[in-house]
Amino acid sequence: MIARPPASDLAGDLAPAPVAPAILLAGVVKRYGAHRALAGVDLQVQRGEKVVICGPSGSGKSTLIRCINALERHDGGRIVVNGIELTGDEGTVQDIRQEVGMVFQHFNLFPHLTALENCMLAPQLNRGLSKAQAEKLAMAHLERVHLADQARKYPARLSGGQQQRVAIARALCMEPRILLFDEPTSALDPEMVKEVLGVIEELAASGVTMVCVTHEMGFARRVADRCVFMDRGEIVEEGGAQDFFDAPKSERLRHFLAQILR
């Protein structure tokens, strides 16, 4: 087991309204010109639930999770995150981003800051923590991703797997109730995939709400409470990992699984 950082309330156990889902998407539409990247998506994620989204390239899965924290603005439908309705208003966007952490395919660490400083920046700027407080928090989370010994290195000196774990620690430092992963292992060399997935699995055990876009089927089976298959901007099928992989109902999912499993 991993030690929980002292200041953390990651479990999302401070629910304002116990019945409200962590994430509610209703008829979400996103257009790029004439192309509909999301064609009316409905999805609910309960508190503490782990949801894996998969689907072919261009199916809208990245767009979907990027809409949740407003990196992409949706053109129609409703998005409610932890009871906050996402509107065009900048205030709601900032509120939601404080609740939602995100990990990207290409890590996107700040190259001019050390691993430790990468983790300290947002808590210092957003929450007004002192340098000492932020450092303590950052060290706790770096420890959690097993990188305390690399804290003072710059990203350029770290392996891809280490960089992605720093990125996870950086997201955790904002103590989000919801974590979004956008293909967190797709840019990694094969031998580094395991260390990153291992960290994510440990996090999953802590009770945080997770939405993860990934094609790592073994990971999905171990972690996901529910798997969602997207194609052409809509959710085609969803279900428990077992049924999802072993007894897919739709032809499109069967075809997709045949493609990726070969």
125 in contact with another protein (CB under 8 A): yes
28 vs 201: CA distance, rounded Å: 29
Backbone torsion region of residue 167, taken as left when φ is above 0, otherwise alpha when ψ lies between -120 and 50, otherwise beta: alpha
91 in contact with another protein (CB under 8 A): no
| Interacting span for another protein (CB under 8 A) from 9-17, 47-55, 92-100, 225-233 | 92-100
The residue count for binding another protein (CB under 8 A) is: 31
Query: Closer to another protein at the Cβ: 213 or 235?
Result: 213
CA 157 → CA 5, 68, 150, 152, 183, distances in Å?
Answer: 26, 32, 9, 10, 23
| Contact pattern from residue 156 through residue 195 relative to another protein, giving x for each residue in contact according to CB under 8 A and a dash for the rest | xx---------x--xx--x---------------------
Calculated CA dihedral for residues 134, 138, 139, 143, nearest 10 degrees: 160
242 in contact with another protein (CB under 8 A): no
Q: How, if at all, do strands 35-45 and 23-32 pair?
A: antiparallel
253 vs 248: CA distance, rounded Å: 6
In the complex, which residues of this chain contact another protein (CB under 8 A)? 69, 71, 94, 97-98, 100-102, 104, 106, 108-114, 121-122, 125-126, 152-157, 167, 170-171, 174
